[in-house]
Structure 1
Amino acid sequence: MPGTSGNGAVTRSTLRQQIADALRDEVLSGRLQPGQAFTVKEIADQYGVSATPVREALVDLSAQGLLEADQHRGFHVREYSVADFRGLVEARSLVIDGMFHALDHGRPAFRDPTEPRTAAALAGVRRRGEEARRAANAGDLTVLIGYDLRFWRELSSLFGNPYLVDFLHRLRVQTWVCTVQHLRRVTDLRGHLWADHTELIDALVRRDTVEARSIVAAHHAHSLSLIENLTTG
């Protein structure tokens, strides 16, 4: 029956997303290491599900740059080089600068911070930034990643372009995947992690894109310096 088929498709799609989200968290937490290989069957057995949604989830994560397919053998966690990281940082810099360009030219985002819906959205973004700051200052990488991704996703959504939101989110996930491959080796991360989220949102509320660009440039320079020092030191 059409209804049964539709429900089955929805269930499989939901399961596919749940598996993809779980595996992404495994990679970001460092529990799945760079280069670590596995098969569809191994993941299906681990989660107690059929192979089809697992295969679809792994293909999705491969398309997002988190995994790589091994011909006829399975998948492995992608290993990012420093050159890859530089490229990712440059790409996200260009996307963010495009957001600020839109703000410079009077797009609706941040037009009136006192408008109730805009004010509520900005307050939510700021809360994510405050939580990210606390996690960074405490050196809690896992919590920081979660709030940082939410901060940027919610911030970018204020510019009204869902394609931009998805693209920037993918870039930030990829840069975090690369970053954790190195940061997990550091025993105490306090003082090493960028935490100027609230300063950035405050600058954007003031429509001060000069200051916002300066904050983002410092963020990117910090990220590059951190990874380059870890890989050479």
Structure 2
Amino acid sequence: MPGSDAVKRTTLRSQIADALRDEVIAGRLPAGRQFTVKEIAEQYGVSATPVREALLDLCSQGLLDVELHRGYRVREFTYADFRDMIEARTLIIEGIFRHSAQQAVDSATPEALASVRRRAEEAGRAAAAGDLDILIGYDLRFWRELCCLVGNPYISDFLDRVRVQGWIFTVPLLRRLPELRGRLWQGHGELVAAVTDRDVVEAQRLIAAYNDHSLSLIERLTE
């Protein structure tokens, strides 16, 4: 089949990028960690080309930095960066609710709305239980699906990028706490209800409360 090798390489590139992104988010590849294409290729048992392409993809997402003649380094974020991330994601979400929420809910299929509600329930349960690893996956899926309701993949992709960067900064700090049960934001379900009811004011209130909660918690951990 013409082009099948290119398809396989692209798929492998995506798989490696996704795997490495998960490692970075979970903190198994911590901030500041250096590595080379050769190291990652040997780890996954693949050739250097898809690894190099995957690493460049992660660089474009702001997760890695290229170090001349030394390979790659996991990007290190600061609390000031985190505050900027909060501001950026707030502007994105407020824009969605202000311009697109009603249209999105009106045009969304019952299956799409049901899926967002399931993600919200799963994320809320993980947050309440303090299960950080499970929460991260469901939280990212929840926000991706919620943004996809507006039918604009650019908005969804940009918010996902900011949220991933936020998790990369906060995860190592949160792991310092001996107990996370009851410490993590769990208002996903309330937010879905507000969006479904087209209650922009309530949705904005929930997001503001979420931001205040995140900043307050992380600020204490960075002192």
TM-score normalised by L of structure 2: 0.97
Look up the match of 1:140.
Answer: 131
Look up the match of 1:208.
Answer: 199
Aligned Cα root-mean-square deviation (Å): 1.2
2:97 aligned partner, one-letter code: F
SS of residue matched to 1:109: helix
Look up the match of 2:114.
Answer: 123
Provide the C-alpha distance between the structure 1 equivalents of 2:219 and 2:68, rounded to a whole number of angstroms: 32
2:53 aligned partner, one-letter code: E
Look up the match of 2:153.
Answer: 162
Q: 1:223 aligns with which of 210, 214, 218?
A: 214
Moved >6 Å (runs of 4+):
none
1:180 aligned partner, one-letter code: V
Provide the C-alpha distance between the structure 1 equivalents of 2:171 and 2:20, rounded to a whole number of angstroms: 15
Aligned-residue offset at 1:162: 1.1
1:204 aligned partner, one-letter code: V
Q: 1:44 aligns with which of 20, 36, 41?
A: 41
Q: Deviations over 1:162-208 (max 9, x none)?
A: 11111111111111111112112222111111110000000111110
Pairing 1:29–2:26 present: yes
Look up the match of 1:87.
Answer: 84
Q: Which runs of 5 or more structure 2 residues have no equivalent in the other structure?
A: none
Higher alpha-carbon deviation: 24-33 or 210-219: 24-33
Q: 1:78 aligns with which of 71, 75, 79?
A: 75
Instruction: Give the total of aligned pairs.
Output: 223
Q: 1:63 aligns with which of 60, 64, 72?
A: 60
Give % identity.
62
Aligned-residue offset at 1:103: 3.4
SS of residue matched to 2:104: coil
SS of residue matched to 1:12: helix
Checking the alignment, whether the CA contact within 8 Å between 1:30 and 1:184 is kept in structure 2 is no
TM-score normalised by L of structure 1: 0.93
Q: Deviations over 1:93-136 (max 9, x none)?
A: 000011011136x5x21126xxxx62221111011010111111
SS of residue matched to 2:73: strand
1:211 aligned partner, one-letter code: E
Higher alpha-carbon deviation: 137-146 or 181-190: 181-190
Pairing 1:174–2:171 present: no
2:64 aligned partner, one-letter code: L
Aligned-residue offset at 1:40: 0.4
Aligned-residue offset at 1:60: 0.7
Look up the match of 1:109.
Answer: 104
Provide the C-alpha distance between the structure 2 equivalents of 1:14 and 1:194, rounded to a whole number of angstroms: 35
SS of residue matched to 1:110: helix
2:105 aligned partner, one-letter code: F
Pairing 1:20–2:17 present: yes
1:37 aligned partner, one-letter code: Q
Q: Which runs of 5 or more structure 1 residues have no equivalent in the other structure?
A: none
